[in-house]
Amino acid sequence: MTPIDRRAFLAAAGASAAMSAAKAIAASAAGEGSERAAHPGDDHRGPAVIASANGLKTVELAFARVAAGVDPLLAAVEGVGLVEADPDDMSVGYGGLPNERGVVQLDSSVMHGPTHRAGAVAALENIVHPARVALKVLQTTDHCLLVGQGALDFARAHGFPEQNLLTDRARAAWLKWKHNLSPADDWLDDDQTDWPEDQAPQTRLDHPPPGWPEGVPFTWGTIHCSAVTGAGDLGSCTTTSGLSFKIPGRVGDSPIVGAGMFCDNAVGAAGATGRGEAVIESCGAFDAVREMERGATPTEACLAVLRRIAERSTRQRRLVERGVPNFNVTMYALRKDGAFGSAALRGPAGGAPFAVCTAAGARIEHAPVLFVV
Ligand code: GLY
């Protein structure tokens, strides 16, 4: 299907006054009345690694590992490790934006296709590589998910080094947020002009919700990565620092198996980035894999999940209007035969970027969006 231009779309909907926005979304996303555009990834076959747009180096590394015969889950976990350790990515691992108390809490899940086993950690502090801890949960326990202090104790038991994950830049961003919470509190917003260039808060991270103060960073950001070998074995991984300035203990979709990540070696793998609550409420990754099982291409599967999220979003503060969310979610899907695709709820007319690596090399491709913004 082609990207939906919201203006054109509403104009069409307006011509038929009886057509609700929700119905219009469903009709347009189903490709009714429009030529369904081809998405080249849906036709790809063979080994492949797909990731969110912040994972270009991730897919390159993971694909090289898969090509060298490394297990696809180990390859994906190694690949996302580059972003977990990157202080400049404020949505994942070291350098991620902290919770409302200024503490970085990380979430991650992993799943291994051939054994259908999963591991996850949530609200983990002081460990740079939560995906590696999630992998240890999978490999060395009879559990799926460890949280908070228990996850940290487990990481310590396995010798993971501890360090403060709050970089100066993330701390500056947190202070900026705190200074802008209320004009009536005692945290005054100075303009922080004395921040060195490399420590100043980044402000263009993600689409903030309406009313978010100007100049204050915001992110739902995350990295998802799924890999498939030439033999059709899959591994999948999602890792994040989660929603910026969240309530301490808040857990997003990333460590929830079936929401932020899911893998079924008979079908494919999928993952999500964006507003975790919406993905949890729709079991996004599980839904995408089941869509592929029913015959959808990876791109169609991602779009089907996003349509359901749009149609079922009812919380007024999260809607532009009924059926039109003001937040973003991006889905990624990789089929057992190597077909891949992505789609985003909102994005530019040129599509939403995602990273992929195949035998043709690592690159950024663009996925269809439900609402052009
Ligand atoms: N998708 C990341 C989060 O909501 O925490």
Quote the CA–CA distance of 342 and 226 in Å, as a whole number.
Answer: 12
Quote the CA–CA distance of 61 and 171 in Å, as a whole number.
Answer: 30
Q: Is 221 in the pocket of ligand 1 (CB under 6 A)?
A: no
Q: Is 96 in the pocket of ligand 1 (CB under 6 A)?
A: no
- Across 267-274, average pLDDT: 98
- Across 265-289, average pLDDT: 97
On whether the CB atoms of residues 341 and 42 are closer than 8 A, the answer is yes
Residues 177, 52, 127, 111, Cα dihedral to 10°: 140
- Across 189-204, average pLDDT: 62
Phi-psi region of 211 (alpha: psi -120 to 50; beta: other; left: phi over 0): left
Point out which residues pair with 261 in neighbouring strands.
Answer: 257, 271
Quote the CA–CA distance of 24 and 131 in Å, as a whole number.
Answer: 39
Per-residue pLDDT tens over the stretch 125-180: 999 999 999 999 999 999 999 999 999 999 999 999 999 999 998 998 898 888 88
> Which letter, b or e, does each residue of 76-112 get, where b requires 16 or more Cβ atoms within 10 Å of its Cβ?
bbbbbbbbbebeebbbbbbbbbbbeebebbbbbbbbb
- Lowest average pLDDT, out of 49-53, 192-196, 237-241, 245-249, goes to 192-196
Task: Calculate the alpha carbon distances from 351 to 2, 39, 107, 246, 372 in Å.
Answer: 10, 11, 28, 29, 8
Q: Is 273 in the pocket of ligand 1 (CB under 6 A)?
A: yes
Point out which residues pair with 264 in neighbouring strands.
Answer: 268
On whether the CB atoms of residues 112 and 258 are closer than 8 A, the answer is no
- Cα 362-295-231 angle, rounded to 5 deg: 50
Residue 220: closest CA among 371, 327, 78, 63: 327
Please state, rounded to an integer, the average pLDDT across all residues of the chain: 87
Q: Is 271 in the pocket of ligand 1 (CB under 6 A)?
A: no
Annotation marks residue 222 as catalytic: yes
The model carries a pTM of 0.88
Per-residue pLDDT tens over the stretch 158-170: 999 999 999 998 9
- Across 295-304, average pLDDT: 98
Quote the CA–CA distance of 283 and 285 in Å, as a whole number.
Answer: 6
Quote the CA–CA distance of 166 and 173 in Å, as a whole number.
Answer: 10
Residue to mutate, 246, 273, 331, ligand 1, most ligand atoms under 8 Å from C-beta: 273
Nearest atom, ligand 1, residue 246 CA: 5
Parallel, antiparallel or unpaired: strands 340-347 and 369-372: parallel
Per-residue pLDDT tens over the stretch 67-85: 999 999 999 999 999 999 9
- As a whole-number percent, the residues of the chain with pLDDT over 90 amount to 71
Report residue 118's pLDDT band, with 50, 70 and 90 as the boundaries: very high
Token digits of residue 240: 């994040």
Token digits of residue 308: 């359901």
- Give me ligand 1 centre to Cα 34, in Å: 33
- Cα 90-93-96 angle, rounded to 5 deg: 25
